[in-house]
Amino acid sequence: MKIALHWKILIGMLLGVVFGIIAVSSGMNTEFVTNWIKPIGTIFIKLLKLIAIPLIIASLIKGISDLKDISKFSLIGGRTIGIYILTTLIAVSIGLVVVNIVDPGEKIPQETLEMLSSNFSGDASKKIDAAHNQKEKGPLTFIVDMVPDNIFGAAGNNRNMLQVIFFVILFGISLLLIEPKKAEPVRAFFDGLNDVVLKMVDLIMLIAPYAVFALLAALIVETKSPELLYALLWYGFAVVIGLLLMICFYLMVIKFYVKKSPLWFLKQISPAQLLAFSTSSSAATLPVTMERVEEHLGVEKEVSSFVLPVGATINMDGTSLYQAVAAIFITQALSFQLGFSDQLTIILTATLASIGSAAVPGAGMVMLVIVLEALNVPQETLTVGLALIFAIDRPLDMCRTVINVTGDATVAMVVGKSVDKIKEPNPKNWDDHLDEVR
């Protein structure tokens, strides 16, 4: 009996957790896991990142050129950005409501604060320095940074994905504006390149179940202080509840606007969600997200090829929700009083910070510093506050990346529905397809 891809990935995740727990409880040498198991997961993430830029270039140019009308592109682009900003504001608001109800900061004893501060103060200082470098830039630096001065240099670093998208959009629009006869060879080239990159995705997905096993086994084994995680359960509980409420919001949108079954949506997007959980990177998950949205959710490429790469770069609903919860949690734990105007500041700052947050693991922590400094939290308090959440940040980073990816897929369906670009899905059978690849 053949097992569907999402079940294989889920089995790999569960086995990885079980293996990690057994390894820790039996006193297994962590170097074995680090040296012989974790590299499988590392290679998988690097492979996904390897094809992220080629996939964006090929699929976005193909999507824009297929529009044949520049007015359609401006319509899709405007709606995409507007909806992304709206969902981010909703995410931050949900986070604030949940954290004020749960009130997790009041449940952290002073001795735990001191222990966390001594263990993670060095890491916290690095994040603060990185945030200061970000804040020293001018108000229009975000826009300036979107424009590359060397496309090959921009394409050489996944952190410059916005620069690549800017160039590709400019290239695609120019392709629409020249004579169709002259544009046809270029379109044919990128059509072929898109097919080749999608085949690379198929090949990489062969090792997905083994990779998530390796990633989660290594995570469990490398957790330094499990007792600290227990002390932060209330904070983690508040974040997870907020993320679940955000999922419920997405499913309501799918049901009442897109007119699709929420359970069907979750089933189709689940492989991308599971990979997002394992890799903690929206950018690394992007190739799989695009495949699921196009082949299994039925969003046409001319929509998905723009909405999803942009979403992986600027739409961080899970990250912005986490920043709201973390900011209130830290100020509660350190007895730093916030008023209503301060919470409005969090909504604005977290929204803007999430747009500039890179689609890589841990970037949200840097943006959290910006949010806290907007609240005038003192430097010494800021260091203790970041140390407070470092111990549990990685597992929560995994959870919020799932929300980021789910939000991207939801917005792709909303935009597709609004411009009548959703078709009946024609999903390929992954098992038969992978058998052919083998």
Q: Which of 208-222, 290-304, 389-403 has the highest mean pLDDT?
A: 290-304
Residue-level pLDDT at 363: 54
Choose among 234, 408, 407, 397: nearest CA to 322.
Answer: 397
429: left (phi over 0), alpha (psi -120 to 50) or beta: beta
Provide the pLDDT for residue 60.
78
SS3 28: coil
Angle ∠(398,399,405) on CA atoms, nearest 5: 90
Given a cut of 90, whether residue 207 has pLDDT beyond it is: no
Say what the pTM is.
0.75
CA 361, CA 261: separation in Å to the nearest integer? 31
Q: What integer best gives the mean pLDDT of the chain?
A: 79
Q: Alpha-carbon distance 38 to 74, whole Å?
A: 44
Average pLDDT on 121-149 reads 61
Which is higher by pLDDT, 192 or 205?
192
Nearest Cα neighbor of 426 from 299, 339, 319, 326 is: 299
Superfamily designation of domain 5-437: Sodium:dicarboxylate symporter (1.10.3860.10)
Could you tell me the residue ranges of all domains in the chain? 5-437
The mean per-residue pLDDT over the stretch 287-309 comes to: 89
Contacts of 221 (CB under 8 A, 6+ apart): 20, 23, 24, 28, 30, 33, 34
Q: Please compute the mean of the pLDDT values over residues 129-148 and round it to a whole number.
A: 64
The predicted structure's pLDDT at residue 256: 95
| Interval 381-407 mean pLDDT | 78
- Cα(first)–Cα(last) distance of the chain, in Å? 18
CA gap 372, 382 in Å, rounded: 7
Q: Are 227 and 121 in contact (CB under 8 A)?
A: no
Q: Which of 25-29, 110-114, 324-328, 373-377 has the highest mean pLDDT?
A: 324-328
**Section 390-400 average pLDDT:** 77
Pick 363 or 377 by higher pLDDT: 377
Separate counts of helices (H) and strands (E) for the chain: 20, 0
Taking 60 as the threshold, does the pLDDT of residue 118 lie above it?
no
Q: What is the pLDDT of residues 224-274, one digit of tens each?
A: 545 455 557 788 889 999 999 999 999 999 999 999 999 999 999 999 999
